[in-house]
């Protein structure tokens, strides 16, 4: 056997053992040997390497089938961490996730956004202080992902379009120069899709409904991307470009102006106060919500006609979505439907808050796991 074949088998054993442990809470050596059909010495030497590299830990004892106690092994889930940051107009939220995509920390900084050096430096310093306050070593951080309302270059380094925050032209180096780890930008809607996809691993159109609307398509576990960063930005499909409502993009009638929370809420309202009034059966609020659901159903239906994959409603609105609203939307979809079909393609997401920050941290984690 050639040396390269030998190395490849050795790496594959190492990788298989790590991934088996990743998908189990804890296992003894003998379990690993049995499940992967490997010899005990092979398992022992690979575990030793994984422990030395900080990827696996000894984790108590397990009782074997013959009653003897054996050392249990687990992945070192908290040994390496991903950082995600969602940047909005008046605040930034940091999410820190471990290698199992479990949220370890969520923290919000009240920090008005500006496309300036001072902003990048202040946010970077606040992030470093937060990490230090929680006894996290900078070398534990795989990378920081920044989720922002803007379209991002394919390499994740430049904001190509950002009218909401006026963030066009920002570069990851604006932040990375103050940080001891790498930084990548992500379109905020992509982050929401990635956060949902972890617990709902399906192809889908992920409609993220927050202050603004964002959409992203996941196919074969990958966000559908293009060099202009524009794939999946269905929020600017226009339903009436001549007389429709004015969108921040400069055109009229975009889905954004009918299905975002901005389009639903009055100036003095929060999402919470709106749904409180809805639950108290406030007639004016009920009427407004009926109109909103009509537009939402039409938008969902149009997207469904274009690509026949699940459509997942996610983002800030998620925590207010009830099974009653799901049934209501499905009934509206049924009335719009040209073809005989059920409406099971419509689903609701499950990440109730800060899905942009959570999703922004996940690619670095997935990349690390895939490369072990
Ligand atoms: Zn628009």
Helix ranges, the chain (H): 3-22, 29-36, 40-52, 117-133, 173-176, 188-199, 256-259, 261-264, 271-279, 283-306, 323-336, 355-370
Question: What confidence tens digit (pLDDT) does each residue in 274-304 have?
Answer: 999 999 999 999 999 999 999 999 999 999 9
pLDDT at residue 117 in the model: 95
Residues 212 and 333 in one domain: yes
Tell me what the mean pLDDT of segment 260-265 comes to: 96
**Structural domain includes residue 197:** no
**pLDDT(9) > 90:** no
DSSP-based three-state secondary structure for 95: strand
Q: How big is the chain, counted in residues? A: 372
Residues 42 and 85 in one domain: no
pLDDT at residue 360 in the model: 98
pLDDT at residue 114 in the model: 95
Residues 253 and 339 in one domain: yes
**Structural domain includes residue 285:** yes
Residues 89 and 217 in one domain: no
pLDDT at residue 233 in the model: 84
Residues 99 and 65 in one domain: no
Distance from the alpha carbon of residue 94 to the mean position of ligand 1, in angstroms: 28
**Structural domain includes residue 143:** yes
Task: Tell me the CA distances in angstroms from 174 to 59, 119, 154, one per residue in order.
Answer: 41, 9, 18
**pLDDT(273) > 90:** yes
pLDDT at residue 65 in the model: 64
**Structural domain includes residue 131:** yes
**pLDDT(328) > 60:** yes
Tell me what the mean pLDDT of segment 200-210 comes to: 95
Task: Tell me the CA distances in angstroms from 137 to 57, 80, 99, 129, 316, one per residue in order.
Answer: 18, 9, 15, 11, 31
Question: What confidence tens digit (pLDDT) does each residue in 243-262 have?
Answer: 999 999 999 999 999 999 99
**Structural domain includes residue 42:** yes
**pLDDT(227) > 90:** no
Q: Among residues of the chain, what percentage have pLDDT more than 90?
A: 85
Q: Taking Cα atoms as reference points, which of 217, 233, 116 lies closest to residue 166?
A: 116
**In CATH, what number is assigned to the domain containing residue 182?**
3.30.420.40
**Structural domain includes residue 125:** yes
Tell me what the mean pLDDT of segment 317-342 comes to: 93
Average pLDDT value for the chain:
93
**Structural domain includes residue 85:** yes
2 falls in which pLDDT band (50, 70, 90)?
low
Of 57, 75, 93, the one marking the end of a domain is 75
Query: Which residues are 347's β-sheet partners?
Result: 312
Question: What confidence tens digit (pLDDT) does each residue in 84-134 have?
Answer: 999 999 999 999 999 999 999 999 999 999 999 999 999 999 999 999 999
Question: What confidence tens digit (pLDDT) does each residue in 158-193 have?
Answer: 999 998 999 999 999 999 999 999 999 999 999 999
Distance from the alpha carbon of residue 43 to the mean position of ligand 1, in angstroms: 56
Distance from the alpha carbon of residue 280 to the mean position of ligand 1, in angstroms: 33
d(CA 85, CA 327): 34
What phi-psi label fits residue 232: left (phi over 0), alpha (psi between -120 and 50 degrees) or beta?
A: left
Q: Under 8 Å CB-to-CB from 143, ≥6 apart: which residues?
A: 82, 83, 181, 182, 183, 184, 364
pTM of the predicted model as reported, rounded to 2 decimal places? 0.92
d(CA 56, CA 93): 30
| Full domain range(s) for residue 212 | 202-348
Residues 174 and 297 in one domain: no
Distance from the alpha carbon of residue 78 to the mean position of ligand 1, in angstroms: 41
Tell me what the mean pLDDT of segment 135-162 comes to: 94
**In CATH, what number is assigned to the domain containing residue 36?**
1.10.10.10
Protein residues placing their CB within 5 Å of the ion ligand 1? 236, 247, 249, 254
For residue 251, count CB atoms less than 10 angstroms from its CB and return exposed for 0-12, middle for 13-18, buried for 19 or more. Answer: middle
**Structural domain includes residue 187:** yes
314 neighbors 351 (Cβ within 8 angstroms): yes
Q: What's the sign of the alpha-carbon dihedral 350, 354, 355, 360?
A: negative
Distance from the alpha carbon of residue 266 to the mean position of ligand 1, in angstroms: 19
d(CA 174, CA 121): 8
64 falls in which pLDDT band (50, 70, 90)?
low
Residues 49 and 130 in one domain: no
**pLDDT(1) > 60:** no
Residues 27 and 87 in one domain: no
Distance from the alpha carbon of residue 236 to the mean position of ligand 1, in angstroms: 4
Residues 157 and 242 in one domain: no
Domains: count for the chain? 3
Residues 7 and 55 in one domain: yes
Residues 240 and 292 in one domain: yes
pLDDT at residue 207 in the model: 97
Residues 180 and 228 in one domain: no
* HEC assignment per residue over 305-364: HHCCCCEEEECHHHHHCCHHHHHHHHHHHHHHCCCCCCCCCEEECCCCCCHHHHHHHHHH
pLDDT at residue 24 in the model: 96
What token pair was written down for 5? 């074949």
């Amino acid at each position: 056997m050639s040396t390269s074949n030998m190395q490849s088998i050795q790496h594959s054993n190492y990788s298989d053992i790590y991934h088996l442990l990743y998908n189990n809470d804890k296992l003894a050596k003998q379990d690993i040997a049995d499940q992967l059909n490997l010899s005990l010495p092979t398992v022992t030497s690979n575990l030793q390497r994984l422990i030395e590299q900080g990827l696996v830990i000894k984790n108590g004892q397990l009782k074997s089938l013959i009653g003897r106690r054996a050392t249990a092994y687990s992945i070192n889930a908290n040994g390496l961490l991903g950082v995600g940051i969602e940047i909005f107009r008046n605040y930034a939220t940091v999410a820190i996730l471990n290698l199992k995509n479990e949220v370890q920390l969520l923290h919000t900084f009240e920090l008005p956004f500006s496309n300036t050096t001072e902003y990048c430096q202040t946010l970077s310093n606040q992030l470093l202080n937060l990490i230090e306050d929680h006894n996290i070593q900078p070398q534990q951080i795989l990378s920081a992902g920044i989720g922002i309302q803007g379209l991002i270059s394919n390499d994740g380094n430049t904001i190509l379009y950002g009218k909401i925050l006026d963030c066009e032209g920002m570069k990851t180096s604006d932040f990375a120069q103050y940080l001891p780890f790498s930084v990548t930008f992500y379109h905020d809607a992509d982050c929401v899709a990635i956060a949902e996809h972890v617990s709902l691993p399906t192809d889908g159109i992920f409609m993220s409904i927050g202050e603004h609307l964002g959409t992203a398509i996941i196919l074969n576990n990958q966000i559908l991307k293009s060099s202009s960063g524009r794939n999946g930005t269905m929020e600017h499909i226009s339903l009436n470009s001549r007389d429709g409502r004015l969108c921040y993009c400069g055109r009229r009638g975009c889905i954004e102006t009918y299905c975002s929370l901005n389009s639903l809420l009055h100036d003095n309202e929060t999402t919470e106060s709106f749904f409180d009034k809805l639950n108290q059966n406030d007639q004016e609020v009920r009427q407004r919500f009926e109109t909103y659901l009509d537009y939402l159903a039409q938008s969902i239906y149009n997207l469904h006609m274009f690509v026949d994959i699940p459509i997942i409603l996610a983002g800030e609105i998620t925590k207010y979505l009830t099974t009653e609203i799901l049934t209501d939307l499905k009934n509206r979809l049924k009335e719009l439907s040209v073809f005989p079909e059920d409406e099971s393609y419509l689903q609701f997401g499950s990440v109730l808050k800060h899905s942009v920050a959570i999703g922004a941290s996940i690619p670095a984690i997935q990349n690390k796991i895939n490369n072990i």
